[in-house]
Each structure stands twice: as structure tokens, then as C-alpha cells.
Structure 1
Amino acid sequence: MQATDTSNESNVGETKDSNETPPKITEEYGTLREQAIVNFQKPNLPNVNVPERIIICLDVCCDNQNSMYRLGDGTTFSPINMLKRVLDFFIHSKHAINKETQFALVLLKETDAYLAHTFTNNVKDIINTIDYVHIEECESDNFDFKHVFDIIKREVEIPEYKQTQCMIPPPYVVRMIVLYSRSNCVPLILQEDPYLNFLKMQMYFYIDLLFAHEEECNLFKCEEIYDTLQDLDNGYSYVFEVSRNAAKIHECIAKLLAHPLQRLLQKNTDYNFGTKYHVSHS
């Protein structure tokens, strides 16, 4: 009898366990539910590859010109030359995807911003302008992004979003890509700036960020700079940070190729295609 009772108790336990939802499935369901709620809260926008007008904000200042990026074949690049390299890849790739893509170049100098090239879809012109950029020293503790906003306000026209026509594609979208390379100069981004708040409310204006910093962050202000740069994000930005890692900076710039109207929110992206069920035999 005791054996029978023990067996019955064991079976009851097994039946109870089999009816329970595994924790992993529950967790995945919760994640999907959260993503669905986020998507319902997003405004209705046309999922169309309309032309982009991309403002490249290239930081020409660097804290240490001797901290190199190294490729797999041993070739080294200074920080400014690596940024030029990845921009060359980015511009040619975007132009191949849509030849109507236009590019403008804004240089982030020590304490000011300078419009080096207005919008053009002539790849050769914009690349040549980038090639002639020279590194500059920076002794300032801060860079005020108001100088960048002033250029956008003066030079850029952003298509208007109308709720009643929300599914009609705009003629183009505007995207500002900031490549910030200082590790000791903290950006000034005033949240009460009325024009910044205006930009954050525009459905057809996007700000993406790539922060390329020094290796030893404990000796610099990398964390403070990264946190401050995220004040530019209105919830739809892609934000990346990388130290002196040549492979990773190429990976980051490749992720910025995605069209703002067609990409997921960054927190919902998954780049691990085909790797979930990969079994290593090493």
C-alpha cells in the first residue's frame, strides 16, 4: 500500500507539473505582449522607402590621435580616418539602396558647428568634402548642440505630419546622424530648448547616434557623454557606442542603413539570424 500511495503521489505531482506553463514561454509571451503594446502606441506612419535627407554631423575633434583602430590584416586607422572609412561605406550603401538619398555634412568643431556641404545626392562631392576634413584639438569641456540646431532650423525643411493623411508617404524624411568622438568634452543639450522639443515632436525627423570613444573610460568622461547624448533621443533613435574596435564600428554603421520608416524600435531588433539553434562542436 505504501508503494502504491507513493506512486500515486508521484503521478499527481507529474500531472500538476505538466499543466504548468514553462517559465521560458511565460517570459517570451510577456515580452511579445510588451512589444505589441509599444507598437499600438506608435503613430501610424507609412512603411515606405521614401528618399532620405541625411545630415551627417561629423565630430572633427579627438582626445588622442594615437589611439588607433586596427583591422584584422594589421592595418591601422586614426579615429578621424576610421570615421571617414565607415562614412564612405555608409554613403555608398545608402546611395545603392536609393539613388535619391541626399546627404549634408555638418562639422562639429571645438565650440561651434559648421555646415560644410548642403544636401546633395552626388556621392563623389560629399565624399570629397569628407576626405578633406582634418582633425582638430579640443581643450573645451563642453560642446553646445544649440549650434547644430541653429543650422537645422536655418537649412532644413521637415515634411509635416498630418494625422488625417498619416498613410500617405511624405516626399522624404530627414535624419541626423551624429558621430561623436570626444571622450572628455561633454555635450550641452538643454531639454528645455524649444527647437529641440519641436524636433522631437516631428514624425518625419530622426536623430541617430554613434559615440566612438577612447578605450579606458575610467580615465575619461565616456559614461557622462553617452548618457547626455541620449537626451537627443525621442524614443525612435538608434544609439550605439564603440571604443577602438574596428569590427564593431563597421557593424554599428551597417545597422544605421535601415530606413527610419521601415525599421523596428532599437530595443526590439534582433540581428542573430540563424544562430539561435546553432550548436558548437568545438
Structure 2
Amino acid sequence: MIELKSAQEREKMRRAGRVTAEVLEVLKTAVRPGITTRELDVLAERETRARGAVPVFKGYHGYPASVCVSVNDEVVHGIPGARRLKPGDLVSLDFGAQIDGFVGDSALSVFVGEPPSPRAAELLEVTYQALWRAIAAMRPGARLGDVSWAVQEHVEAHGFSVVREYVGHGIGRAMHEDPQVPNYGQPGKGPLLRPGLALAIEPMVNEGTWEVGVLDDGWTVVTLDHRLSCHFEHTVFLGEDGPEVLTLRSDEKRV
């Protein structure tokens, strides 16, 4: 059942989104050669709690960390550990914070230094563009399939593929609420988008095949062909006048 949020709940979601965005900004700045993914996790928890919030991923279905750090061919749910980042790595940071009973969820991808190839740089840019195209499609009276198609059409036009086994989702008091938000679909199909809807839109885009598998740790999702994967996500609230990005970072120009 899709739950629509009130104006008061929207304001609480703004606060959760602001904390989420701020912590992700700190993490993005910290990404550099030699830092371990565990050090990024420690930083994420410290910065979250300093803002009076809780890292919502930690303990969620048994997940052991505050942030997901997925590197290169890792799509999502990478567990922080002793791995040290090196120049050219493509690092995806997925993070969520809960405060005042509501959740913000967002993700970004960044290279450690320069991209290893022009195609890798294009993968990151296309994934980011796909996110914003999906946000623009989130309008009152549109259908959920319009949001999904906005991602798929842009990604596939550039020769990349969208992950199909993992999707975006509704969000609010819980991190995962109805509806599911696939990164593929048909325009004009699916539930009607109404003011009060909150979605976590998150394109997961692979350089090669869309097929993925899970490592022995039970969490880390990787591309089957071990080519690069990229991930961006925003929590978006649909108002009467259109979408509001609740997790917008200060380094982002688009609204």
C-alpha cells in the first residue's frame, strides 16, 4: 500500500534528508588513495550521530555497517573493511540516516583521482543524468513507469545496462516502503503519482551486462562480467508543484 505523507511529515523528511546529504558530502571529500573502506564507515557513523541522527543501515536485516561502500565491479551493498582505495577506483557510497522517526536515503559514485578511461567517466555521467531525468519525470498525474523508463531509455541509449534485480523504493518512516521503483519499465504504466509520495530513486548502471551475483559474504552485489558499476540515489518528495529533492548536496547544481 502506497502511503502519502502530510506537510508535517514532509518537513521531518527534509531534516532526515539534510543529515543524509551532509554526511555523504563528508564521505565524498574523504575518498582518497590509501583510505580504507572501514575508515569511511567509522566516519559515517561519527558524523551521523554528531547530528543527532542514527545510521539506518547499521543492523538492517543484519547489515554490519553504517554505509555501503561498493568499489569498481561491486554494484551495491559492499561491506566496509580493510580494503584500501587506489587511484582509478570507482567508489559508490550508499547511506541513510534516521531522525525524528523519518529516513533519508542517498547514494553517489566518485572516482579516486582520475577515471581509468573515457568510457568509465561516461558511465558515471550517464548514471547521474539518468537520476535527474527520473526525478524530472516524477510529476503529479504521471505514472511510476514514466520514472522507470526515464532511467532505462537514457542508459541504454548510451550502450550501458540497468540492473534489474535491485530497485528503488518508497521511503518515509521506514527505509523501504511501497512502491518498488525499477530502473526499467514502460511509460504510462504503473501506479499514479500523487502529491505526498516520497521515493528513493536510484539508478544502478553497469558498463556491461545487467546481470549480477552476490558474493559469499551474503551482501556484496557484483556484476557477472566484473566490469564497472555505478550508483546514484536521491530521496524525492512529490509536492503539488513537482518534485523536491530532499537529499540534495551543496555541490549539486540541479534542482
TM-score by length of 2: 0.32
Taking structure 1 as the reference length, the TM-score comes to 0.30
* Structure with more of its chain in helix, by fraction: 1
